[in-house]
Amino acid sequence: MKKFLNRRNAVLAMVVLIAAAFLGFKSGDDRNFQIAKNLEIFNSIVKELDMFYVDTIDPNKTIREGIDNMLYSLDPYTVYYPENDQDELEMMLKGSYGGIGSIIRYKPELKYTMIVEPYEGMPAAESGLKPGDLLLEIDGKDLKGNSDVSTLLRGQVNTSFKLKVKRPGVKDPLEFTIVRRSIQMPTIPYYAMMDNQVGYINLNSFSGNPSKDFKKAFLDLKKQGITSLVIDIRDNGGGLLEQAVEIANYFLPRGKVIVTTKGKVKQASSTYKTLREPLDLDIPIAVLVNSGTASASEILSGALQDLDRAVIIGNRTFGKGLVQVPRSLPYGGNMKVTTSKYYIPSGRCVQAIDYKHRNEDGSVGTIPDSLTSVFHTAAGREVRDGGGVTPDITIKQERLPNIVYYLLRDDLIFDYATDYCLKHPTIASAEDFKLTDADYEEFKKKVKAADFKYDQQSEKILKTLKEAAEFEGYMSEASDEFKALEKKLNHNLDRDLDYFSKDIKEILALEIVKRYYYKRGAIIEQLKGDKGMEEAVKVLTSPERYKEILTVPVAEKK
């Protein structure tokens, strides 16, 4: 016992000496030591693996995975881009890249990549590529089994290549010579004057220079005689913060603070104000948002809400209040790193997820409403932080039926649209197009012929309930009730195709119109019966209601 006490006292004495030694360091010196120590350990691990691991390791792959996991433990937006993977970063910053301009998708069951959506006016579309084309060869190289065809399609601007494709409905392969161009994604794919002199601008990105296109569209609409404006930024994932400030400036006085960034280092903290004279301070504005509205989109919508300049309509936005900047790394690499949080005019931050305080299992959750704080707009209206931008008018977000998800997953809607285009060289304008009952009957036949199977949530839940009832001993008493319920919930494809025909027809029409009129046509089709747009028109054509929404209720004034 005495020996144990002496040993314990010796250990305690050693711990005290070590603690005293470390306390002698300044906190900065200790931090530098910890970084240097762990870098040396990491370096040694890689060398030991390379020398002794049973199989030969790929240093690029192994270390890249280590880097990616390290960065992801911080947040999903801090990302490393090696020298040979700069296209995505360039796309985010400039909104452009060298390529053919098309969405593609690898089809595992066919082992080939397929053209999904060519962009209007881009090389893929101008060369004649169509959705459904399977990419067989590039410059004679067989693409079967290659799931990374995008790297072959992208390249230096003005370089050309030969592409062989297999087109549905065409017996022999087709060959195209395509010249790569700088692919600039359209930031304003559609704008128009709607009924009641309401202007509409669809803004789908803040990458590149969208403020220039937005200004041009708005001034054109003014010439056409609009008296109010809808800005649609639903599913706009953001981009450049400065572009959001520039567009906000079109409708706000010079000198207004739009956003403030606050970071650990001085250069990460800035205040962004409107620097120019506005285009229009009086036109009524409605902004359409949803859960896909994020980052720079939330700066624009949040600033217009905080300064009582627009009515926000839709669903609560995503809640990304973090700012990233690119940092150069050795050997041509770059890192997009989160350097600060941003705060909109009321002083609130819209960040919804607290990545710093994680659960024990490493997961993160959204900040509960009970922990958010109240802020006030310029007029004194209450707004909250910590969960995106809450709209002034909430539109119920409709969920797609389960059957639609499986029809999309199995490409039955995509394939029907491909067949439809083969039979119809032209269709009515996007505004006038309508899927007929005969068209839908033909689609139903194709679905049945494909032996389509899908999971019904009610069947899954019933199965789980039966298992629980059996485990708890209730099954014998409730067996008749379960049999009756099973009969009612019996899988009936005919019934579901009819019952959910409205939703399915809308998706079918959207896919078909997109084939002929690209993104612009898809937006026109989506606006038909759009509840958010309908609500925006109601508000903008009712000056009294518009003013009431942007004013503090009398009961709240002090």
Residues with Cβ < 8 Å from 355, sequence gap 6 or more?
Answer: 74, 75, 364
* Active-site annotation holder among 207, 211, 295, 340: 295
Task: Retrieve residue 68's tokens.
Answer: 């990616």
CA distances for 440 relative to 411, 412, 434, 436, 501, angstroms: 16, 13, 11, 6, 8
* Active-site annotation holder among 130, 164, 256, 320: 320
Residue 311 parent element (H or E): strand 311-314
Instruction: Give the residue from 129, 553, 142, 193 showing the smallest Cα distance to 379.
Output: 553
Instruction: Report CA 123 to chain centroid distance, whole Å.
Output: 25
d(CA 320, CA 243): 16
Alpha-carbon radius of gyration of the chain: 29
Q: Catalytic annotation on 392?
A: no
One-character DSSP codes across 110-179: TTEEEEEEEPTTSHHHHHT--TT-EEEEETTEE-TT-S-THHHH--STT-EEEEEEE-TT-SS-EEEEEE
**Residue 59 near residue 42, CB atoms below 8 Å:** no
Instruction: Report CA 315 to chain centroid distance, whole Å.
Output: 15
Q: Catalytic annotation on 306?
A: yes
d(CA 145, CA 102): 20
Q: Catalytic annotation on 291?
A: no
* Active-site annotation holder among 306, 308, 385, 411: 306
Residue 243 parent element (H or E): helix 241-249
d(CA 424, CA 446): 17
DSSP-derived 3-state class of residue 339: strand
**Residue 392 near residue 312, CB atoms below 8 Å:** yes
Residue position matching structure tokens 């409205």: 502
d(CA 258, CA 282): 18
**Residue 134 near residue 166, CB atoms below 8 Å:** yes
Task: Retrieve residue 98's tokens.
Answer: 């060298």
- Give me the active site residues, please: 295, 306, 320
